[in-house]
Structure 1
Amino acid sequence: MVWQRRSILSLYNLSMTRHTAARGDTASSSNDIETPVPSISPAVDTAWEESRTVEASNATKTPSEVRWRDLPNKDQLFILALCRLSEPLSNVCLLPYIFYLVRSVLPTSEDDTSTDNPAARISEYSGVLVAAFPLAQCIISLPWGRLSDKHGRRYSIIGGLFISVISNIGFGLSRSFGALLFWRVLAGLANGNVSIMRTVTAEVVRERKYQTKAFLLLPLVFNSGMVLSLALGGCLAEPVVNLPALFGPDGIFNSSGNPDGVAWALEYPYALPALLNAFLLCTALFLAVLGLKETLHGKEEHSDCGLRIGTVIGRLVTRLWNRGPEYHKYAMMQDTEEATFLNASQPKSEKVEPSTTMTDPMKMPFRDIWTRKVFLSLVSFGLLPLHNSAFMHIFPVYLSSPPADNSEATIFAFSGGLGLRSATIGVWLAAFGIGGILLQLFIYPRLQKRIGTRGVFRIALFLFPVTYLAAPYLSLLARDHAARWVFLGFIVCAQIMARTMAIPSTVILLTEAAPSRTVLGTIHGAGNMLASLARAVGPAVGGYVFALGVEEGVIGLVWWLFLVGVSLCALVWSYVTENSKV
């Protein structure tokens, strides 16, 4: 009987191979971590053969067959994507103009008259300002993630959005460094819910074949938010200077006829980007209150006043939209029916029995969550923002710094920046950020399908140190030389390309490392806490080393000593993680 079973299984595999060849499909795995295939033994039973049949039929479907419009729960993913804009809008918007913002609020005694290198002092203060946001995230992320595992995701996300709106308004209207620092800390505390959004993504999209696209969505929105935020921050800061047709002496909004321009724009020159951020986040908050559903296991049926109002509005809009001679009424699928359908659509090998792994998160001891696999993934998750956040702070300050005479420069000893305005910096970073979005949409899924998540991650880790080695040599190019713009484009494009490939890879690998889906909130909370700590340490240390390099006449000190060093550590750690038995 054993040889009969083997013969039947061999004939089935042969028929599946011929069927796949006839269709022209290429069987490739989309899993991030390879799943061992059990060997055939004489004791193989009918249940195993049936599960292998389902797996074989699903193996013929490549990730390229899953389109964006095929994703389940698109309304929830859309609201979640808008909520994800909170962090880039609150955190990144100030980067194009941070040099000029800090210079405007520093006391006169600590500005240009107190030192021969004002850029060094501004770099130190701006490093503290940038680091305040992720440091607050670090403090709140793990408790917030643990709280969401107990009481739910919906109110955590809504509360964070509300506080983000308030903090953006306060930041834009601040006139002192202390006030700016306070509102940055509050915004960081509000955005500790980033890990919860990642958890909701995993809970909304349960089928493995959709998860590559789904986990790519939030980094894609993050990059889009960064592009939008950088462009808004660079172009809307100092509107009297950057937008004279609207806010200048003869501008459309200068109804009072002030000879210098719009009065409030002169008094609060950096308020407009923050106020616009608050308006955009208000829109996301409104939609979240009306439509974001609870996804915590056991509380999926939760409903409140906001959701009930949203349901009524949705039905009204649907009736108005579909009113006509060909109107057909569709019944909404209930959550329980949808869960049953999703569970039935999964291969039996991917179903999880509630009595085994899908346990109550409170029944899993806290210490049992932190496996070796989770630890290794968390370290990789934290090393990336350690150098990436430092770059995001240092590079705009470097581009804003005044150029220097490098006629006697050596290969390592030279100084000065490019002296670019905030609008130019914002447009450049935003333009290449669009390239990062296109990369995530069209290139990343194909690379991930061919070489896997770890392979894509490693390509990014090789790009980072090469980019950081080359960046400071922009100072040696002539001030008006065309080569400077080409070289600047290469630096920005390479860094954004590496970042675009690395961020979704780390999220996927961390999710795969979780011992149970019910503790994803805690796992991603710990990851966000570690990443936030790295985003706080990176700009603070980077700003200090940058200031030291400016004072010593070695502008590349922070690039070669700190950024290259950390990125090489991340590259080495990726090999340690792969070769370890987890």
Structure 2
Amino acid sequence: MSTTSAEKFDQIESHHRHGRSTGVTRSVMEDQEHSAETAMQPVRPPQASWTSMPHKDQLAILALSRMVDFFQMASLSTFMVHQLQSFDPSLPNSCISRQAGMLQGSFTAAQIVTAVLWGRVADEPNIGRKKVLLVGLIGTAFSCIGLGFSRSFTQATLWRLLGGAINGTVGAARTMVAETVEKRFHSRAFLLLPVAFNVANILGPIFGGMLVDPVTSFPTLLGPSSVFGGPEGVAWMIKYPYAATNMLSAALLFAEAALVYFFLRETLASYAKRGPSPFGWLDTSRGLLARLVPRRKSDYKALDPSQSVGLLAGIEGDAINMTELSPEGYLEKPFAKPKLSFSRLWTSNVVLTLLSIAIFDFHMGAFSSLWIIFLSTERAEKHHAARSPSDPFYFDGGLSFQPTAISYALAVIGLVGLALQLSLYPWANSRFGLMRCFRYSLVLFPVAYFLAPFISLLPSWTDAPQPASGPWIWIGISMVLTLQVTARTFALPASILLLNNSSPHPTVLATIHGLGSSTSSMFRTVGPIAAGFWYGVGLEMGAVGMAWWIVAGISCIGCIASFWMRNGSGREILLPGDEEYQEIQETQARTRD
């Protein structure tokens, strides 16, 4: 009885031990299976945010490069019409409006020819994006100095042409932003460029208007018998009243060039890293000439140094020893990755994106010119005599603003844009998506352009020909600018992203941005010139709004054209050497087997 009980006790204890062992084993196996399943699941990258964005210092330098470039343009807008009037005070307003359109368009006119060229040069492995950015900043600085000391419309136009021709900063900066961070950060990284634009639109007009004719603006410092002026004032500032504001723009461009040179890193993957050379600028010049003067194709190709065989020279000591060839030697020499040809990058999405950008930049350039001219145009004391005063579309005159008032009106653009850029845009973009924000924003442009000329009919505290003033005038200005800037806040970063994503292959990314910059320059040239011409004709007819309403109609076409665009992947064409291309080749090979 006792033996049987002992045996049963041993069996029960053994069963419990076995059960516990089995349970432990099963638990370990389940943990291992769970770990394996967890390891097999793809790791999601952290959500893109401003705090998690890498390379903030590099993005800050790139944003500053766009800010100082926009600064010189915004600063010029405050005094351009008055500088043209100082060249020849006898010219009528209609002629000054045409000259203003030509002067503003001359900068972008030169970029039509050179933007694609600078994009191709920036794709060269021995040059890269950084050198193109440096050349653009320094060259534009010298053109600002020349503009400030110009004494005629011809001189001013030539300096603006030179500045535009050498300025390849737009494509270079956009490409470097795209290559500095991963694609999931692009929507936030590219937002820095419009933010820079808005900051420049605040600071440029304020400082530009402040430094126009500084002897008069700061008499105690620069005027007669002042601290720095001497008995008659600062002589060169009296002779060149628009030089000081241009020299400030040049100083900012030179300072940014120094930041780029010392702290900005090259982003071109195939850039040939070499030590610093005092003759590095020769590489840029050589690459530029290589694009201007095409080489004749030949079957001849120079031998690689490793292919020079000693046996050919009859020197036995220099002969190749076949036993010394190893995987680390000549056979393992890497092949250069192929680059997409220029003729193959013209996909349908690239063409449609460039078309939409063309319309967008046409009316943006036209608005920039019309707004400055309209603010500066003398107020009309009565309606045009040839038409009935009751006709709502036939009225004449502008607001007669002086540079200081113009600077405030232009600064409103930057203030509204910056507030919307940092508050409304991120929420709307995440809620509605890139394409819908782009398309919906375009609808606001024609509304703003249609309403703009009616500001001159609002009640003013002063009578013509004195500058318009009073709350109704500034309410009207704020309403029109809020509509225009809201539309631009969403459309501008979206157009940059859509252009970047339309690139069919990463090897032509800078070229695509060069094409976009060239297209933008072309229509930002045509826009101000055409708008200035229409504005002059409208003044002669007594219909100051004619140019505005034509531009509104063109912007409506842009609304329609946007529905044919799509957000690309940035890699629509695959080349040998691409990972996706190799995967497709391997899949096809397995299918054939």
TM range, smaller chain:
0.7 to 0.9
Query: Is structure 2 residue 375 aligned with structure 1 residue 399?
Result: yes
The within-5 A match list for 1:151-166 is 151-166=127-142
Deviations 1:362-393 (A, max 9, x none): 63221111111111111112211100111111
Match of 2:533 among 521, 544, 553: 544
Distance 1:191 1:578 in 2: 29
Distance 2:567 2:172 in 1: 30
Q: How far is 1:239 from its partner? A: 2.0
Distance 2:80 2:491 in 1: 26
TM-score (normalised: structure 2): 0.74
The within-5 A match list for 1:317-466 is 363-406=339-382, 408-466=389-447
Deviations 1:217-264 (A, max 9, x none): 12211222232222222221122344444434465432x122xx4332
1:18 matched to which residue of 2? none
Count of residues in Structure 1 that have an aligned counterpart in Structure 2: 467
The within-5 A match list for 1:53-64 is 53-54=41-42, 57-58=44-45, 63=48
Q: How far is 1:87 from its partner? A: 2.7
Q: How far is 1:156 from its partner? A: 0.9
Q: How far is 1:134 from its partner? A: 0.4
2:252 matched to which residue of 1? 280
Give the SS at the match of 1:363: coil
Pick closer, same or farther for the CA change 1:247–1:455 going to 2, 3 Å.
farther
1:240 matched to which residue of 2? 215
Distance 2:208 2:96 in 1: 18
Query: Is structure 2 residue 78 aligned with structure 1 residue 96?
Result: yes
Pick closer, same or farther for the CA change 1:399–1:251 going to 2, 3 Å.
farther
- Contact 1:297-1:518 within 8 A present in 2 as well: no
Deviates more, 1:152-161 or 1:83-92: 83-92
1:73 matched to which residue of 2? 55
Kindly report the root-mean-square deviation, in angstroms, between the aligned alpha carbons of the 2 structures: 2.7
2:565 matched to which residue of 1? 577
The within-5 A match list for 1:96-115 is 96-106=78-88, 111-112=90-91
Give the SS at the match of 1:72: coil
Pick closer, same or farther for the CA change 1:300–1:544 going to 2, 3 Å.
same
Q: How far is 1:483 from its partner? A: 1.2
Match of 2:491 among 502, 524, 542: 502
- Contact 2:370-2:548 within 8 A present in 1 as well: no
Distance 1:360 1:513 in 2: 24
Query: Is structure 2 residue 228 aligned with structure 1 residue 265?
Result: no
Q: How far is 1:424 from its partner? A: 0.9
Deviates more, 1:80-89 or 1:179-188: 80-89
User: Where do 5+ consecutive residues of structure 1 fail to align?
Assistant: 1-45, 113-117, 309-358
Query: Is structure 2 residue 185 aligned with structure 1 residue 216?
Result: no
- Contact 1:236-1:242 within 8 A present in 2 as well: yes
> Counterpart of 1:91 in structure 2: which amino acid?
M
1:566 matched to which residue of 2? 554
- Contact 2:214-2:222 within 8 A present in 1 as well: yes
1:231 matched to which residue of 2? 206
- Identity among equivalent positions (%) equals 35
Pick closer, same or farther for the CA change 1:360–1:536 going to 2, 3 Å.
farther
> Counterpart of 1:432 in structure 2: which amino acid?
I
Match of 2:97 among 118, 123, 132: 123
Query: Is structure 2 residue 157 aligned with structure 1 residue 181?
Result: yes
Match of 1:144 among 107, 115, 118: 118
Distance 1:579 1:569 in 2: 20
Distance 2:113 2:200 in 1: 24
Distance 2:460 2:422 in 1: 36
- Contact 2:84-2:96 within 8 A present in 1 as well: yes
1:291 matched to which residue of 2? 263
Deviations 1:480-532 (A, max 9, x none): 24211111111122212221221100000111111112211010000000000
- Contact 1:86-1:191 within 8 A present in 2 as well: no
> Counterpart of 1:573 in structure 2: which amino acid?
A
Pick closer, same or farther for the CA change 1:494–1:62 going to 2, 3 Å.
farther
Q: How far is 1:553 from its partner? A: 0.3
> Counterpart of 1:101 in structure 2: which amino acid?
Q
Pick closer, same or farther for the CA change 1:487–1:145 going to 2, 3 Å.
same
TM-score (normalised: structure 1): 0.75
Distance 1:419 1:246 in 2: 29
Distance 2:336 2:63 in 1: 28
Distance 1:50 1:477 in 2: 69
Deviations 1:440-498 (A, max 9, x none): 12221111101111122123201100000100001112332421111111112221222
User: Where do 5+ consecutive residues of structure 2 fail to align?
Assistant: 1-35, 281-334, 384-388, 462-469, 573-593
Q: How far is 1:50 from its partner? A: 8.5
Give the SS at the match of 1:416: coil
2:109 matched to which residue of 1? 135
CA radius of gyration, larger in? 2
Distance 2:369 2:554 in 1: 16
Distance 1:376 1:224 in 2: 30
Q: How far is 1:300 from its partner? A: 6.9
Pick closer, same or farther for the CA change 1:130–1:95 going to 2, 3 Å.
same
1:474 matched to which residue of 2? 455
Distance 2:502 2:530 in 1: 30
Distance 2:410 2:203 in 1: 10
1:353 matched to which residue of 2? none
- Contact 2:339-2:507 within 8 A present in 1 as well: no
- Contact 1:145-1:193 within 8 A present in 2 as well: no
- Contact 1:429-1:492 within 8 A present in 2 as well: no
Deviates more, 1:536-545 or 1:277-286: 277-286
Q: How far is 1:190 from its partner? A: 2.2
1:531 matched to which residue of 2? 520
> Counterpart of 2:158 in structure 1: which amino acid?
F
> Counterpart of 1:564 in structure 2: which amino acid?
A
Match of 2:228 among 253, 257, 275: 253
Distance 2:165 2:567 in 1: 37
